[in-house]
Structure 1
Amino acid sequence: MSQSPLIPAGALLLGLLCAGCSSVPYAQRMSERQAAYAAAAGAPVRSFRFFSLYSWEPLGDTQLAVYTQPNKAWLLDLGGCQELRFVNSIGLTSNLNQVMVGFDKVLTGRHNFPCTITQIRPVEVKSLKLAQQQQRQIESAAREGQPPAAAH
């Protein structure tokens, strides 16, 4: 039993169309994420203690959020990382378990140059999560001239 060659070509076309349509919402989502982290970030600090990387989130090619614990995050401003949004893994340099501004770097892969950390700000994770929950809330209202939907 053979498959029609139109199915893979159709799926590819559909995928390309969806990718083209999602570029505006992605840029908007990225901008909202950057704003949320900036609002939750405190004053710049010189360094932070680093034992292991729990999680990370790229916020463009010049910012990165790193979590050293589930409720402990840092917003790093970087000296322009190449394609940071597309790397599968990152690393952080440190000296005596300290990551320092201007000295330590974010490593993104063997073909990319290390990205210098130009600023570090602690992130208040609780307020960040609260802002995320508020963004997810949906306001609903009945349309004008339409009776309210019956509850089932």
Structure 2
Amino acid sequence: MDKSLLIPAAALLLAMVTPGCSSVPYAQRVQQRQVAYTAAAGAPVRSFTYFSLYSWEPLSDTELAVYTRPNQAYLLDLGGCQDLMFTNAIGLTSNINQVMVGFDKVLTRSRNFPCTITGIRPVDVKSMKIAQEKQRSIEAAARNAAPPAEKN
């Protein structure tokens, strides 16, 4: 067997297993993300300008965070969107580069109906990142020196 194939295969196996090694259960991580987005979301708006989808994060079958730029995001409320948590691609409908409440939809690659957007709230990405950094911060303290070993 070619040994050069073993290293990539081992790396692939490690990459597949690693996400399951988190100490926080998946449902709890998703709930924490929902809380973070909800806390950073502003007042509802009727529409937002949309040229391209930079990134997206499903939070539930009724909530979706979409990024139109690295520092510009919107929390979308949906009228129920089957399999949103498990789809690997989405799209947004728009009219003249505007995504509007009640008119536009989230499209998934599944055979389900498009998901109607029932609410749009801009997300203060900067404040959300600051809050996340505070959660990640740790208190560092020097260790006490170990007592000297006794000689017999």
TM range (shorter): 0.7 to 0.9
**Cα distance in 2 between the residues matched to 1:80 and 1:33:** 19
Aligned to 1:71: 71
Q: Do 2:92 and 2:106's aligned partners in 1 also have CA atoms closer than 8 Å?
A: yes
Match runs of 1:88-127 below 5 Å = 88-127=88-127
Deviations along 1:13-65, whole A, 9 cap, x unmatched?
A: xx6xx95x879711111111011101111000000010110111111111111
Q: Do 2:87 and 2:110's aligned partners in 1 also have CA atoms closer than 8 Å?
A: no
Aligned to 2:62: 62
Match runs of 1:113-152 below 5 Å = 113-139=113-139, 148=144
Aligned to 2:10: none
Paired residue type of 2:39: A
Cα 1:124–1:95 shift into 2, 3 Å = same
Paired residue type of 1:50: Y
Identity over aligned residues, as a percent?
74
Cα 1:27–1:105 shift into 2, 3 Å = same
**Cα distance in 2 between the residues matched to 1:149 and 1:129:** 37
**Cα distance in 2 between the residues matched to 1:83 and 1:122:** 24
Cα 1:140–1:60 shift into 2, 3 Å = farther
SS at match of 1:95: coil
Cα 1:96–1:24 shift into 2, 3 Å = same
SS at match of 1:138: coil
Aligned to 1:50: 50
Q: How many equivalent pairs are there? A: 131
**Cα distance in 1 between the residues matched to 2:145 and 2:87:** 46
Aligned to 1:40: 40
SS at match of 1:75: strand
Paired residue type of 2:107: L
**Cα distance in 2 between the residues matched to 1:113 and 1:29:** 28
Where does the alignment leave 5 or more consecutive residues of structure 1 unmatched?
A: 2-10
Aligned to 1:7: none
- Return structure 1 stretches of 4+ with deviation > 3 angstroms: 21-24, 139-142
Between 118-127 and 77-86, the greater mean CA deviation after superposition: 77-86
TM-score, structure 1 normalization: 0.76
**Cα distance in 2 between the residues matched to 1:96 and 1:57:** 24
Q: Do 2:55 and 2:67's aligned partners in 1 also have CA atoms closer than 8 Å?
A: yes
Where does the alignment leave 5 or more consecutive residues of structure 2 unmatched?
A: 2-12, 147-152
